[in-house]
């Protein structure tokens, strides 16, 4: 049995938070300040068009209506409850863009796009057979203790993406979600350094064997390949409001070339933060309800409603709810090593650290076991079409950070 909330009550509770998107969003001010967007800087005064082009290239996922009911009898719209799920989709989509097309790739309206772009977009269509659809995310959330139609917090979305990624063989991502504000280098290397297909994997899980393989690049022994990493760091940066001591470190994260932005917002109002200007955060807002878009007869998706063509919205960083989740993408091992160096320099030199980065797995923690796809004979989409198998996943301790 699926767990559903009474949908009219959900809509009634949140209907005052569903915003109408207009053409009158506030324009960027005329200033000499730099704008940072996902690791790229733009001089606002002379590069405004380049800046807006960079922002519009990001995939923009919003509320949708008139898709097939989730679970067969559930909601056919996520308006009022799906904003954090949509933000999670946007962060993951940016990781996939970086993986297949690169951070410098730009989208142009009504221009033929690479086949990889279309394939990425199809991963997120609102159909139960699409690996990161609203259907899959909502149903996998049942295993995290969330009823279908219930609002998610950032950590729940992170845990759901980590589990759905196990069924996504094309993108083949390693998804690491930090615990207790701590990123463990040893665990990430263990998860991302994989021996090539066909190599002897008897000792693959042993850190010592991986280290030995790493030193054998010039020998006949197999050299571990790096599985592209999606790193998500859920944080609480205060009690009821963000502690100002964290502001500069938080902004530094958007400067890192590995940046995927941040999930957060206000209570029950999630945004996807992609950069900043001064002390204002720049974000993509999912609170626009659009009609479901499906694949056309040509096999392509009309992508016009999946990009935000207006000037993006901004909010003071001091108005940010203290609960956020930072995202980073490391396509190669050298990207992760560089990220660690940047964290050491920009984050760990603060008196009050935003999070910790440690080399070894803490001895008082349970042993780290890289997540593995459950032993089932169905595809990922079929697997989570029913919630009866969700007990095969470990239920992560929830870290709900935007309080209800």
Positions annotated as catalytic residues are: 83, 285, 287
Please give the Cα distance from 161 to 141 (Å, whole number): 10
Please give the Cα distance from 173 to 95 (Å, whole number): 9
Angstrom CA distances, 15 to 63, 171, 289, stand at 12, 36, 12
Angstrom CA distances, 92 to 57, 123, 175, 267, stand at 14, 10, 10, 22
Please give the Cα distance from 373 to 271 (Å, whole number): 30
DSSP state of 77: B
In terms of DSSP bridges, do strands 280-284 and 356-358 run parallel, antiparallel, or are they unpaired?
unpaired
Two tokens, residue 295: 């694949």
Half-sphere exposure of 388 (CA within 13 A, CB side): 4
Those residues with Cβ within 8 angstroms of residue 301's Cβ, 6 or more apart along the chain or in another chain: 118, 121, 122, 125, 293, 294, 295
Two tokens, residue 147: 């009823």
Q: Which residues of 52-78 are buried (b: 16+ CB within 10 A; e: fewer)?
A: bebbbbbbbbbbbeebeebbeebbebb
């Amino acid at each position: 049995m699926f767990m559903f909330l009474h949908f009219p009550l959900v809509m009634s509770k949140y209907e005052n938070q569903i915003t109408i998107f207009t053409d009158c969003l506030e324009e960027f001010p005329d200033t000499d300040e730099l704008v940072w967007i996902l690791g790229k800087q733009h001089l606002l005064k002379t590069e405004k068009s380049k800046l807006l082009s960079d922002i519009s290239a990001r995939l923009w996922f919003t509320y949708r209506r008139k898709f097939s009911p989730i679970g067969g009898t559930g909601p056919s719209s996520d308006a009022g409850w799906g904003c954090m799920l949509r933000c999670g989709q946007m962060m993951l989509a940016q990781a996939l863009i970086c993986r297949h097309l690169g951070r410098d790739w730009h989208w142009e309206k009504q221009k033929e796009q690479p086949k990889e772009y279309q394939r990425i977009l199809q991963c997120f269509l609102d159909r139960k057979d699409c690996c990161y659809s609203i259907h899959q995310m909502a149903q996998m959330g049942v295993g995290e203790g969330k009823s279908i139609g219930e609002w998610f917090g950032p950590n729940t979305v992170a845990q759901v993406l980590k589990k759905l990624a196990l069924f996504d063989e094309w993108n083949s991502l390693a998804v690491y979600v930090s615990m207790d504000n701590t990123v463990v280098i040893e665990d990430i290397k263990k998860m991302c350094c994989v021996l090539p297909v066909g190599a002897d994997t008897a000792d693959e899980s042993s850190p010592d064997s991986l280290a030995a393989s790493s030193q054998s690049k010039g020998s006949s022994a197999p050299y571990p390949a790096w599985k592209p990493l999606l790193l998500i760091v859920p944080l609480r940066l205060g009690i009821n409001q963000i502690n100002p001591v964290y502001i500069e470190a938080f902004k530094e994260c958007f400067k890192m070339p590995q940046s995927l932005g941040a999930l957060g917002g206000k209570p029950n109002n999630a945004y996807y933060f992609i950069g900043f200007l001064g002390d204002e955060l720049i974000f993509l807002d999912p609170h626009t309800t659009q009609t479901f878009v499906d694949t056309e007869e040509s096999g392509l998706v009309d992508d016009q409603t999946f990009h935000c063509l207006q000037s993006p919205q901004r909010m003071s960083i001091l108005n940010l709810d203290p609960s956020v989740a930072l995202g980073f993408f490391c396509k190669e091992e050298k990207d992760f090593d560089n990220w660690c160096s940047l964290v050491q320099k920009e984050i760990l030199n603060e008196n009050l650290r935003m999070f910790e980065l440690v080399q070894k797995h803490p001895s008082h923690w349970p042993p780290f076991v890289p997540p593995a796809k459950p032993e089932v004979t169905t595809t990922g989409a079929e697997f989570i079409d029913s919630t009866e198998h969700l007990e095969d996943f470990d239920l992560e301790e929830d870290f709900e950070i935007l309080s209800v």
